[in-house]
Amino acid sequence: MARVKAGLTCAFVALLILGVTGCDHTQVGTGGTPEQRDLMQAFLAAHDKNDLEAEEYLVDWDNVTEGYKNFFIKNHLERGLKHRILSIDIVDLPNVGPSAFQGYNIQPEKFLAIQYDGDMQDKRSLYPIGQTSGRYYLAMQSGK
């Protein structure tokens, strides 16, 4: 009986430690408006389901060349799906003036900031987001 109690105590302590230190949960920020956070949550949900098509749906592809679209899908979306998201948030654009974001298919308002694990952990991925047709999307550099 003493061994059972000791075993249960050890199991309880282990669960308590796990609860305090956390598991593989993503740190989700509170930046941006509710509508911008909807985009962030949709991106996170698509990522957690490993759903590339759902992630692609969150990008505004208007006026984007096929070459750039394929590049973005392969080097950002597909690559990102191979990694766990450590943190995600909506953050302000840098104060660099309006000309810095000319050439985008929608006017960027904020960034979707994502920190991945693994070989992508060294830098935070920043994707400009903007609103069109009443929804927020990842903004892309236009080919026109």
Per-residue pLDDT tens over the stretch 61-112 = 999 999 999 999 999 999 999 999 999 999 999 888 777 888 999 999 999 9
Q: In a 3-state reduction of DSSP, which class is residue 128?
A: strand
Question: What are the two backbone dihedrals, phi and then psi, of residue 98, each rounded to the nearest 5 degrees?
Answer: -65, -25
DSSP state of 124: -
Mode of pairing for the β-strands spanning 27-28 and 85-92: parallel
DSSP state of 14: H
- Tokens 């990842």 sit at which residue? 138
Picking from 73, 92, 72, 82, the residue whose alpha carbon sits closest to that of residue 31 is 92
Question: For residue 24, what pLDDT is reported?
Answer: 59
Question: For residue 12, what pLDDT is reported?
Answer: 42
- pTM comes to 0.80
Share of the chain above pLDDT 90, in %: 69
118: left (phi over 0), alpha (psi -120 to 50) or beta: left
What is the full DSSP assignment across 60-87? --TT--HHHHHHHIIIIIIHHHTS-EEE
**Between 17 and 143, whose confidence is greater?**
143
